[in-house]
Amino acid sequence: MRDYGQEIAARIAALPQVKDAGLDAAAVAEILEVPQDAAMGDFAFPCFRLAKAMRKAPQAIAGELADALSPDSCGVEVVGAYVNFRLERGAFAAEVLAAVREEGAAYGHSGLGGGRRVIVEYSSPNIAKPFHIGHIRSTVIGAAIARILAALGYEVERINHLGDYGTQFGKLIVAYRRFGSKDEVEAAPIATLLKYYVEFHKQAEQDPSLEEEARAAFAALERGAEAERELWAWFREESLKEFTAVYDMLGITFDSYAGESFYSDKMRRITDELAAKGLLTESEGAQIVDLDDCGLGKALIKKSDGSTLYITRDIAAAVYRKEHYDFHKNIYVVASQQDLHFRQWIKIVELMGYDWAHDCVHVPFGLVRLADGAMSTRTGNVVFLLDVLNQAVEKTRAIIVEKGVLTDDAAEDGPAVDEAAAEIGIGAVVFQELHNNRIKDYVFDWDKALNFDGETGPYVQYGYARAASVLRKAEGMGLSCNNGDTAALTGDAAFALLKKIYELPQAVREAGEKYEPSLLTRHVVDVAQAFSAFYHEERILSDDPTERGRTEAKLALTAAAKQAIGNGLALLGVAAPERM
């Protein structure tokens, strides 16, 4: 489909006055605007930057440029210091509808990535700890980024870098041996393991020697001691059962579950290489890389007892991934609290002489907090994610039954309600998460998560279902979704909807380039709102034979809106119910 913005930029850049001012098409495209007020046109070029070079007032320059631009598919007019452009609405409608109809589920996708391989690491919960609401950010944001990049033509490897190694396992082993019960763990694995972990920290406050005992247990695990390794494997297996249940509810999959333990035999190579390249320094019996000159402090690589840390394993993982996958980008969707950690190990990889170090990208996000404070597995102050999703479904089912919100011939009980409750309830939680700018902290609130009004998942899903309902009724009337008479789509509501559908590919591209799913989430809201305005302002269905051409054009626009909303929701990981 034509890129009208680029075409207009090229036309402006071809003018001698603009060339003389040193602006090429790319520079013009950067300053080309879309007016907030649609009455001012569809694109606007501000002339302020030309004033110095042309030694004229911006208003005079705008008039001169408008006179020099020959109209084609865009009308040209002067508004103050701006040259404004108006699209020919009928032709625009025909082009947008044809593109959506032809591309279908691939509308909004592109070949931008050119098949280059990118790794997206996300979710990465800790084994033997609850999968709580705090994990939703990495899980849902990372999955959306992976889908968006795949839609942009990248070959995506989805990695769940499980936290299945580290000193916390020493603590859990000690806790289990001191006051654990196999029967208790098997009856309620994650809740019990969390209880043991919390109790360990309570007892360690009174008996600091427990911390040393835990470090010794982890060191034994690193050496491959059979007893410690058997307990570790058991904890891992039980935890994965709960993780899988959550991923299944969210419709999220991974290509690899290679966690920290996968790199346990690959770290010696890294420490040896750091030593050989003169980067390791001994400090109080520990091994560090001094990054003070880079403003990053000192990075601890190996503790005095010989055990390794997250940073050692992350360096080993990055080297392995480059050699194994030859990635274009290696993306880590990890909380902003870990910013220094990523800056340190990426700098170390650079100092090791690997020129791909800056292809490793940390995509940070803010924290989720409860209304009464931050969550902590040490104190047990957590909200389990599985409970959140189950409650979302239960609450949604109650709303559906109470208000009778299913459309058309869907039954008000039984499988139809159960399916709708799962799609809408889980979709509400996911959509709320992705609607927030990822870098901002936010407070998890049930009322907000399950609010069915405003800029929410249920609102967008309802827009999709409403479009589906209109199209089913049209089919029953013997009407088709051919373009028909596109002159019927030149009204303001129809044209506003067409523009939002047209802009979907750009929203997908920007969300991928900035690793920011909220840009796509908000655009899908815009499409749904524009469709709602069109639905209320235009009479879509008519059985008047003389209106058939206009009716079928409106149905074509309805089908395009449904497709655009559905495609956006699919990239976000939110279901698109046909009935709601």
> Catalytic positions, please?
129, 132, 135
> Pick from 306, 299, 296, 264: which is nearest to 279 by CA?
299
The answer to whether the beta carbons of residues 541 and 473 sit under 8 Å apart is: yes
Q: Among all chains, which residue has been given the structure tokens 């931050």? A: 374
CA distances from 300 to 284, 313, 343, 523 (A): 11, 12, 13, 44
The answer to whether the beta carbons of residues 316 and 270 sit under 8 Å apart is: yes
The answer to whether the beta carbons of residues 85 and 64 sit under 8 Å apart is: no
The answer to whether the beta carbons of residues 193 and 185 sit under 8 Å apart is: yes
The answer to whether the beta carbons of residues 17 and 54 sit under 8 Å apart is: yes
H helix runs in 352-412, sequence order: 385-403
Phi–psi pair at 59, nearest 5 degrees: -65, -40
CA–CA gap between residue 507 and residue 105 (Å, rounded): 16
CB atoms within 10 A of CB 257: 17
H helix runs in 1-88, sequence order: 4-13, 16-20, 25-31, 51-54, 58-68
Collect all residues with Cβ–Cβ distance below 8 Å to 100 and sequence separation of at least 6: 107, 501, 559, 560, 563, 564
CA–CA gap between residue 5 and residue 20 (Å, rounded): 21
Q: What is the dihedral angle through the alpha carbons of 525, 526, 528, 532, rounded to the nearest 10 degrees?
A: 130
What is the edge-to-edge ordering of all strands in the sheet holding 117-121?
155-159, 117-121, 329-333, 360-363
Q: How many residues does the structure list for the chain?
A: 580
Q: What is the dihedral angle through the alpha carbons of 528, 532, 533, 538, rounded to the nearest 10 degrees?
A: 130
